[in-house]
């Protein structure tokens, strides 16, 4: 697996390129042709657009500047598939991506194939004068593609959730672990200095650096995520009717959207169900509550008399207790916590809201040029989520990884980890 931008060989980049590009296509195998254009809200993009945009990234940042004699696949694709890079040029409105019936799925696949051929040819040029930059940008493009693989899952789930047929893209895991039900445990961490950010030689996004030291007061940290059963208790005790635990913005969001339950919960004949990528299933009390936004997570924590962890606390716990995250296969829905006496569900289950605003680390400087727009310009009004989810591709789980979304956003695989002051 491709992990390192400083030492990866040309061969491993080539192998990673083929595998990761193919993984995007594999994700789309369960889709019907009619699914490829769905866009249910401006924040989500159709699967077809994800396939084309990730291709545009390689064409724009690798092929155009470095592949001698490369001819753009289509003169208007830059306008259609540039997401937000103002340094590159104007963009087709994000909210109208679902109107792009053309190019067709077939034409987008042809676009991918043409760019792949040119990319492999370029990656084979061992004596290219800009080889290091080509490799580094290719690796960035592959991590970018993997981020879009997760977005493809979250976006198509949101779009399909509006269909009363509740389409399924796969089957639930055949074997369900038998959870041992018990109250959440809070582990205590004494005050002290902790290392923050990425300090190794492997790939990391610019928002994970520079590494630095932070002093943390003592805190308590929950050993698992909040379950559906626990969140249901919050609802049954008036959680969505009582403004007391809600932030002001959160209560306005709740009122304006008439929110009464997590995004994909469905009430039928007095019973709760949950829409998943495996279709509509009875609400499982032991699974972690998913697709809650920051406002809901914060209100739940306050209702419990607790709080959400700071991102520094989350990373400190991860560094002290959690072994390096193992690569896990993508699953369509998170599983129940496996109680082993330690901290569980840090990775591979749900992204965990923190109470930390997404802001630059001390000394952070985005790269020059359009590529510097990747992360830095979003450091305003968003909250950090830590960990990884069941649909996060391998290689995107590490203690320093910072995900970020707006407080109102529910469509990501996001859950709740509780913390408290010591
Ligand atoms: Fe992108």
Give helix then strand counts, H and E, for the chain: 10, 12
C-alpha 258 – ligand 1 centre gap (Å): 31
338, 175 in Cβ contact below 8 A?
A: no
pLDDT of residue 328: 64
Q: Which band of pLDDT confidence, cut at 50, 70 and 90, is reported for residue 3?
A: very low
Mark the residues whose beta carbon lies below 5 A from ion ligand 1: 83
C-alpha of residue 144 to centroid of ligand 1, in Å: 6
- Ligand 1 centre to CA of 104 (Å) is 20
pLDDT tens digits, 36-72: 999 999 999 999 999 999 999 999 999 999 999 999 9
Cα(20) to ligand 1 centroid in Å equals 15
Cα-to-centroid distance, 393 and ligand 1 (Å) = 15
Rounded distance from Cα 224 to ligand 1 centre (Å):
31
Q: Is 24 helix (H, G, I), strand (E, B) or coil?
A: helix
How far, in Å, from the CA of 37 to the mean position of ligand 1? 17
What tokens were used for 216? 């943390």
First to last CA, the chain: 40
> What is the sign, positive or negative, of the torsion defined by CA atoms of 270, 251, 314, 136?
positive
**Least confident range of 98-112, 181-195, 329-343, 344-358:** 329-343
The 10s digit of each residue's pLDDT in 374-422 is 888 999 999 999 999 999 998 888 999 999 999 999 999 999 999 999 9
Please list, in sequence order, all residues whose beta carbon lies within 8 angstroms of the beta carbon of residue 252, skipping any fewer than 6 positions away: none
What pLDDT, on a 0 to 100 scale, did the predictor assign at position 180? 62
Closest CA to 46 of 92, 78, 86, 2: 92
Contacts of 99 (CB under 8 A, 6+ apart): none
Q: What is the mean predicted confidence (pLDDT) over 205-229?
A: 96
Q: What pLDDT, in 10s, does the model give residues 313-323? A: 999 999 987 66
Q: How far is the CA of 348 from the centre of ligand 1 (A)?
A: 22
Round to whole Å and give the CA distance between 148 and 328: 18
Cα–Cα separations (whole angstroms), residue 12 to 130, 138, 307, 392: 18, 11, 43, 21
**Residue 213 in 3-state DSSP?**
strand
Query: What is the model's pLDDT at position 323?
Result: 60
């Amino acid at each position: 697996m491709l992990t390192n931008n400083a030492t990866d060989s040309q061969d491993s980049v080539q192998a990673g390129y083929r595998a990761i590009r193919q993984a995007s296509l594999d994700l789309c195998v369960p889709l019907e042709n009619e699914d490829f254009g769905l866009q249910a809200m401006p924040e989500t993009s159709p699967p077809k657009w994800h396939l084309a945009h990730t291709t545009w990234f390689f064409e724009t940042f690798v092929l155009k500047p470095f592949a001698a004699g490369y001819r753009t696949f289509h003169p208007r694709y830059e306008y259609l598939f540039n997401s937000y890079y103002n340094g590159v040029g104007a963009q087709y409105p994000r909210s109208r991506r679902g109107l792009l019936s053309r190019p067709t799925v077939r034409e987008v696949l042809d676009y991918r194939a043409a760019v792949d051929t040119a990319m492999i040819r370029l990656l084979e040029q061992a004596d290219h004068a800009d080889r290091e930059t080509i490799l580094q940008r290719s690796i960035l493009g592959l991590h970018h593609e993997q981020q879009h693989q997760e977005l493809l899952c979250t976006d198509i789930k949101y779009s399909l959730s509006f269909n009363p047929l509740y389409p399924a893209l796969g089957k639930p895991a055949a074997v369900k672990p038998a959870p041992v039900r018990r109250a959440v445990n809070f582990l205590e961490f004494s005050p002290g200095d902790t290392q923050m950010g990425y300090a190794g030689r492997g790939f990391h996004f610019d928002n994970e650096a520079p590494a630095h030291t932070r002093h943390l007061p003592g805190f308590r940290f929950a050993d698992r995520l909040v379950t559906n059963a626990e969140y249901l208790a919050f609802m049954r005790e008036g959680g969505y009717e009582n403004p007391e635990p809600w932030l002001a913005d959160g209560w306005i969001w709740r009122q304006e959207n008439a929110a009464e339950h997590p995004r994909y919960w469905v009430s039928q004949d007095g019973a709760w169900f949950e829409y998943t990528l495996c279709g509509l299933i009875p609400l499982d009390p032991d699974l972690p509550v998913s697709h809650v936004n920051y406002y809901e997570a914060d209100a739940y924590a306050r209702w419990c008399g607790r709080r959400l962890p700071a991102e520094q606390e989350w990373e400190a716990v991860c560094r002290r207790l959690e072994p390096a995250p193992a690569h896990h296969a993508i699953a369509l829905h998170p599983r129940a916590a496996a109680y082993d006496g330690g901290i569980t569900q840090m990775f591979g289950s749900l992204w965990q809201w923190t109470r930390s605003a997404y802001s630059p680390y001390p000394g952070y400087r985005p790269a020059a040029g359009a590529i510097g727009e990747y992360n830095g310009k979003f450091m305003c009004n968003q909250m950090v989520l830590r960990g990884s989810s069941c649909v996060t591709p391998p290689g995107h789980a590490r203690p320093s990884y910072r995900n970020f979304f707006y407080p109102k956003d529910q469509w990501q695989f996001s859950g709740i980890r509780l913390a408290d002051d010591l």
